[in-house]
Amino acid sequence: MITLVSYPRSGNTFLRNVLYEVYGLESKTYHLQKHGPDSGWQAAPIVKTHELPEDLPAELVNRKVVYLIRDGRDAIVSMAHHRADVFDKGSNFNENLLEAINADEGSYFGGWTKHVLSWINLADLVIRFEDLIRDPIGECERLRSIMKLPEPSPDRLPSFQDLKHGQPEYGSGKNLPGDNLATFWFRKGKVNGWKYEMSNAMHDRFWHLHGEAMEYAGYSHSGDLNSDQTEGALPDNGEMTVIIEASKITDFHTDGIKRYVVELIKTAECYPVKGLSVKVLVDGALLDLKSAIARVGDQRQVTRNWVFMLAKNVAKWLLPKGMFNALARNKNHPIFRKVSSNINNEKLSVNADVVHLTLPQHYGHIDHIQTKGLVATIHDLTHDLMSETHTDRNAELSEVGMRYLDEKQATLISVSEHTKADLLKTLRKSQRIYEGVDRRRFYPLNNQHWNDLIYDRYNIPHKPFFFECKHLRTQEEHRFIN
């Protein structure tokens, strides 16, 4: 028995008809909307659904799961047509398309990205629509690894056009009153049809919101499949352990570096790689990804760090600069030691294939870890180039951290071209990888009404302008906004 899952318009009904005609296998559906689950679904050898795992009974999630995946652009274009042709006749195609891309408030089964990320790593077998259309029986034969499959009758294989212009077992609505729905249910069954029906603006919007998941699933911006993932599996890098040093997430205030670390951890959780174990080191405690994300909102730790910063700032205000800097160099002085907590700060005996140091100043947090490779993110070199903006203690820690990375021959990541150039001036090479953000919070705003509100709220003239985000290196932060 298997649960056959797909995002809508990904070829599920086509696959069910092939299994019915060629193998004689009947199937049922489990939907929460409309007519609800089919009667007798519990005894069916195949149950089709579009629901998310958390919305299904455990019986279905615990079965062998087959996930049918299609290029999200083709699936969403097909869905926009399907809505206009069947469920909301006469509705506007482009409005339907935009709604499906945005998937606001959890609509459209959470959206393409959430659906894929919820299922692809739970599935026992992943089948691509693109492969299914090219070789239906060949892809169905892959089911033998997880279920008993009768011998096929290849002469009974229906083509997509046979289903569209006939009365198939599934998708024709033959058990419902009204006309045969097959003509609308089976629309084109083409690969990369989105190229002819999705405007550049719509495609930009789709890729902004779903591009990461598309690449993760093996689809490219151009429409080509990633050859390494055409067998329906994610890349297997073998067994590897990565530790991310992330004590920055417990800071009481949020700055660019904290956001960087938080998004790094969230991304690692959202896009797991088979065989890759990722742990997070936070103030001496080794956590899994979910626990680390929960620590971001740990009010107790935030309060402790707030008390620490308050004491530090009061001392800085009251004491002469020379005395303050002398105390700051004494890291054991109570003013400059974070309030102790229940976290286990003992040096653990830990081994890892790779350690990612997200801030050079935190080199002391990882010195006890045995690792084959050290990777460090360099956000800037202002401790050296603009030392007046740092306390002596912070500048000293930063410089010692950089020397530590040199000694360990660490691989460096620079977050901007400016940082990469500054590193080169110190004879250090780096790989530039821009800082990531939550794409659902930061994206181009194409709604003219909202644009007008922003212009009016901040008294911005209705013409091109520069927006400057204050930063130590403001030249890195200029954005030209139309």
Nearest to 149 by CA among 138, 158, 160: 138
pLDDT at 142: 96
3-state helix, strand, coil in the chain (%, to 5): 45, 15, 40
Q: What does the alpha-carbon distance between residue 236 and residue 273 come to, in Å, rounded to a whole number? A: 7
Token code pair at residue 207: 């890729």
Asked whether residue 439 is domain-assigned, the answer is no
Residue 473: pLDDT above 60?
no
Nearest to 173 by CA among 185, 159, 160, 157: 185
Total of domains in the chain: 3
Q: Average pLDDT for residues 241-250, to the nearest whole number? A: 93
Claim to verify: residue 283 and residue 346 sit in the same structural domain: yes
Residue 67: pLDDT above 70?
yes
Q: What does the alpha-carbon distance between residue 94 and residue 406 come to, in Å, rounded to a whole number? A: 54
Q: What does the alpha-carbon distance between residue 250 and residue 258 come to, in Å, rounded to a whole number? A: 9
Claim to verify: residue 183 and residue 321 sit in the same structural domain: no
Token code pair at residue 386: 């603009």
Claim to verify: residue 186 and residue 289 sit in the same structural domain: no
Task: CATH number of the domain at 13, please.
Answer: 3.40.50.300
pLDDT at 479: 38
Reduced to 3 states, what is the DSSP secondary structure of residue 206? helix
Claim to verify: residue 365 and residue 337 sit in the same structural domain: yes
Alpha helix positions (H), 35-151:
58-61, 72-82, 93-102, 112-119, 129-134, 136-141
Alpha helix positions (H), 83-177:
93-102, 112-119, 129-134, 136-141, 160-165
Reduced to 3 states, what is the DSSP secondary structure of residue 243? strand
Claim to verify: residue 120 and residue 223 sit in the same structural domain: yes
Claim to verify: residue 221 and residue 266 sit in the same structural domain: no
Q: Among 177, 202, 229, which residue terminates a domain?
A: 229
Claim to verify: residue 189 and residue 248 sit in the same structural domain: no
Q: What does the alpha-carbon distance between residue 383 and residue 329 come to, in Å, rounded to a whole number? A: 16
Claim to verify: residue 175 and residue 318 sit in the same structural domain: no
Claim to verify: residue 311 and residue 224 sit in the same structural domain: no
Low-confidence winner among 51-60, 163-172, 449-458 (lowest mean pLDDT):
163-172
Q: What does the alpha-carbon distance between residue 100 and residue 102 come to, in Å, rounded to a whole number? A: 6
Task: CATH number of the domain at 358, please.
Answer: 3.40.50
Q: Which of the pair, 151 or 480, is modelled with greater confidence? A: 151
Q: Which residue range forms the structural domain that includes residue 78? A: 2-229
Residue 338: pLDDT above 50?
no
pLDDT at 34: 72
Q: Among 432, 457, 472, which residue terminates a domain?
A: 432
Residue 335: pLDDT above 60?
no
Nearest to 191 by CA among 99, 66, 78, 85: 78
In the beta sheet, which residues pair with residue 412? 376
Claim to verify: residue 284 and residue 199 sit in the same structural domain: no
pLDDT at 472: 46
Claim to verify: residue 417 and residue 475 sit in the same structural domain: no
List, for residues 9-18, the tens digit of each pLDDT value: 999 989 999 9
Token code pair at residue 51: 């629901």
Claim to verify: residue 339 and residue 422 sit in the same structural domain: yes
Q: Residue 87: which pLDDT band, with cuts at 50, 70 and 90?
A: confident
Residues 218-224: contacts with CB under 8 Å, at least 24 apart = 218/128, 219/71, 219/72, 223/71, 223/73, 223/192, 223/194, 223/195
- DSSP state at residue 219: B
Which residue bears the tokens 């935030």?
302
**Considering the chain, what is the average pLDDT of its residues?**
82
Residue 100: pLDDT above 90?
yes
Phi-psi region of 238 (alpha: psi -120 to 50; beta: other; left: phi over 0): left
Nearest to 138 by CA among 276, 230, 56, 275: 230
List, for residues 388-444, the tens digit of each pLDDT value: 877 888 888 999 999 999 999 999 999 999 999 999 999 999 999 987 767 767 766
Contacts of residue 258, Cβ cutoff 8 Å, sequence gap at least 6: 248, 249, 251
Q: DSSP of 386-406, one letter per residue?
A: TGGGS-HHHHHHHHHHHHHHH
- Top-ranked range on mean pLDDT: pick from 132-141, 324-333, 345-354: 132-141
